[in-house]
Structures are given as C-alpha cells and as structure tokens.
Amino acid sequence: MTKIYANDYLNIIEEKGKNIFTINFVYQNAVLINSLLKTRIILGGTSSEDYKILKFKAQTVKTFSQFKEDYKCKRGNSKISINDSLIILTNLSQQLDYIIKMYSKTFIGYNPENIIVINDSQFIYLGCQYLSEIYDNEMTLISCPFNQIEVFPSPELLNINEIPSYIHYKTSYFSLSLFLLYILTNDDEKYNDYLKENQHFLRFAKIDEWLKILHIKYTKLYFLLSRSLVEEPTSRNILFI
C-alpha cells in the first residue's frame, strides 16, 4: 500500500501492482462519493455501505500540483491548454451541478490542493471542508474560519470579515472560473493584483483586465468565463452557449 495523498478529511491509497486506488474519508461522505459515481466521472468505482470508502481502478492518480509539474515537463510550459481546460471545466462543473441539484450543497471555493487527477484526464474535487448547505433563499452559510486565499475566492468571500456570514451559493461558479482563468494564463501578478485590491468594484475591474489578455477571446470558453466572473452572483452561470 502506498499513500498518494492525505489531509485531515481523507487519504488516497494505491494497491501496488493492482492499479486499484482507495479514497478513505474520515467521515461519511455520500455527497462527494455519489457526485463522482452517479455522474460517471469515475467509472466502475464502488462505495462502502457507510459511504466512507470509494474504490476504483486507474493507471495513475495525482494531485493537481503533480499533474502541473508533469505537464510542464512534457510541454515546456505550465499553462494548461484550452482543450485540457475544457476537460477540467467539464468534470468539475458536472460534479458541482450534481451536488447542487441532488443535495442542495455547494463548494464555497476551489482549492487546487484538493483537486485530484485520474489518468491525466479526469479531474475531481475532494474539498470536503468547503462543502456548504444551500438554503431556500439561495444563500449559503460561512460558519467556520478558513484561509480565503486558498480557494480562489469570489469578491463576496473576500468581503467577509466576521462569521457567521451568508453569501450566494454561486460563489462556487466564480471560484471555479477564476481557477480556470488562472491555469489558462498562469499569471501570478494579475491574480495577486485581484487579491490585494480592497475595493469591491475595483476587483471586477482587475478581472476584466485579466480577461482582455486571454488568448481565447471570443471563444465559447471566453464567454463562459465572462458570464461567470460577473459581480451579481445570481447572474452567474457555467454554460456553453
């Protein structure tokens, strides 16, 4: 047995020579397990009855940082290609959509350390600690302290200065899209400019500047990012049209 990844909420173990991987959750987690099995992002996987163990076959399982290192070695550049970005978007948005519709929960943000890559082609999010319930008014509760910078935060998340606080559940749309914008450009300077800006409306000005330098302008992916990185949370969507 080889430990591939571990944090306070789960670990991933590989059975050497068998291409079998096991995700062991510390607590019951039907939400994440079903979001991967029912959507068929993970094919042929099995869950324990108590929803604490998920087993599946794969050639490789990597953290996202390991994936990026290998990617850079192969391509000479750590920017993620448009095609691979679309795969990441498809997998993560499909998982998110399932969680929202079937469990009325959302992720308050996307931390790349919790993104796991299967066979270099399937991307799953295991951010247990960032799952939050969606209430009837479409708001979600931020009740525990956490590092906002770790999760590609939406502006409304950055504005929180006390807990408990409520924000719109589509904070997840902004976070996922901001993560995609970052991996497409690998622009630390623009991301840091966004984080350091204290005024709400100026944060969106920084995002607009960032979008304008994208090499994918006027593609479907560009318009998707433009629609999901808007100020009004209720107007955000992650759809190709």
CATH classification of the domain holding 149: 1.10.510.10
74 in a structural domain = yes
20 in a structural domain = no
Q: Does the structure show a pLDDT above 90 at 240?
A: no
Tens digits of residue pLDDT in 174-210: 999 999 999 999 999 999 999 998 887 889 899 999 9
Tens digits of residue pLDDT in 110-165: 999 999 999 999 999 999 999 999 999 999 999 888 788 899 999 999 999 898 99
Report if pTM > 0.85: yes
162 in a structural domain = yes
Contact present, 40 and 31 (Cβ < 8 Å): no
Instruction: Give the sign of the dihedral formed by CA 48, CA 56, CA 61, CA 148.
Output: negative
46 in a structural domain = no
- How many domains are contained in the chain? 1
Angle at 158 between CA 156 and CA 162, to 5 degrees: 90
Q: Does the structure show a pLDDT above 80 at 62?
A: yes
172 in a structural domain = yes
Query: For a pLDDT cut of 70, what percent of the chain falls above it?
Result: 99
- Beta-sheet pairing, 20-25 with 46-47: unpaired
156 in a structural domain = yes
CB neighbour burial string for 201-236, b if at least 16 within 10 angstroms, e if fewer: eebbebbeebbeebeeeeeebbebbbbbbbeebeeb
33 in a structural domain = no
Single out the residue of 172, 163, 233 nearest to residue 204, CA to CA: 233
Q: By residue range, what is the domain housing residue 195?
A: 60-235
Element (H, E) at 14: strand 10-15
- Tokens 């607009």 belong to residue: 208
What integer is the mean pLDDT of 105-109? Answer: 97
7 in a structural domain = no
Contact present, 109 and 155 (Cβ < 8 Å): no
